[in-house]
């Protein structure tokens, strides 16, 4: 029971933190937060689907992969994470009146929050939705930190999107991904339980 509430707390915190970074700092400047957004843009461009529906298709497809490779439990937790993130974005954008700041300052701040939130989810074995599922599969199979595969998957999607649609925000998207995935690996590498051990304090 303790483990359930502990994991539930980290999942809710991770979803809310990344939603805060996306909703208040990245999305107002139209900076993509990851590969799922890029894939949704491509679906919208080629099939003329609504952006919300396109993003739902991408996330649903990734959930199918999560069930196949990571199990039903991971898929359920991923659904929780996606829901918390979506609600957080809506809440922060509609309740906090933040003036549009400098794009580069907001990019750094938003990326730090995004990476922290995603890192909290991935360290609990929960995907943040979208291509985070693929990164988690690769991380699990190869026993490596998920930040690097997440970065290269997103970069590939950004370049494809830029080639087909626009290069305007590719540099900002790449910098955001570099910062956020570095934070992801840092958060995933932290052993939280060490904070409470005397042995760790003596080191």
Q: What is the pLDDT of residue 200?
A: 35
CB contact at 8 A, 137 and 70: yes
Q: What is the pLDDT of residue 104?
A: 93
Strand, helix or coil at 85? helix
Does residue 9 register a pLDDT over 90?
A: yes
Per-residue pLDDT of 119-130, as tens digits, reads: 999 888 887 777
Strand, helix or coil at 31? coil
Residue 125 phi/psi, 5-degree rounding, is 75, 25
CA distance 102 to 106: 6
**Nearest Cα residue to 186 out of 134, 120, 104:** 120
Give burial (CB, 10 Å; 0-12/13-18/19+) of 121: buried
Q: Where are the alpha helices (DSSP H) in 71-169?
A: 72-95, 103-123, 132-142, 147-164
Per-residue pLDDT of 76-96, as tens digits, reads: 887 888 888 888 888 888 888
Provide the percentage of residues in the chain whose pLDDT is more than 90: 17
Q: What is the pLDDT of residue 194?
A: 44
Q: What is the mean pLDDT of the chain?
A: 80
Q: What's the Cα-to-Cα distance from 108 to each of 3, 178, 193, rounded to whole Å? A: 33, 10, 28
Per-residue pLDDT of 147-200, as tens digits, reads: 788 888 888 888 888 888 777 778 888 899 899 989 988 998 876 544 433 343
């Amino acid at each position: 029971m303790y483990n359930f509430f502990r994991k539930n707390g980290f999942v809710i915190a991770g979803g809310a933190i990344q939603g805060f970074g996306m909703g208040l700092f990245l999305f107002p400047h139209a900076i993509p937060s990851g590969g799922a957004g890029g894939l949704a843009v491509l679906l919208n461009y080629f099939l003329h689907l609504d952006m919300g529906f396109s993003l739902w298709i991408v996330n649903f497809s990734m959930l199918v992969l999560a069930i196949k490779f990571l199990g039903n439990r991971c898929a359920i937790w991923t659904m929780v994470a996606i829901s918390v993130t979506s609600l957080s974005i809506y809440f922060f954008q509609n309740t906090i009146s933040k003036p549009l700041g400098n794009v580069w300052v907001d990019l750094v701040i938003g990326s730090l929050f995004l990476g922290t939130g995603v890192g909290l989810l991935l360290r609990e074995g929960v995907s943040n939705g979208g291509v985070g599922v693929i990164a988690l599969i690769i991380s699990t199979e190869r026993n490596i930190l998920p930040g690097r595969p997440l970065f290269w998957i997103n970069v590939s999607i950004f370049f494809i999107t830029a080639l087909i649609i626009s290069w305007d925000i590719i540099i900002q998207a790449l910098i955001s991904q570099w910062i956020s995935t570095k934070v992801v690996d840092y958060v995933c590498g932290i052993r939280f339980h060490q904070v409470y051990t005397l042995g760790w304090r003596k080191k």
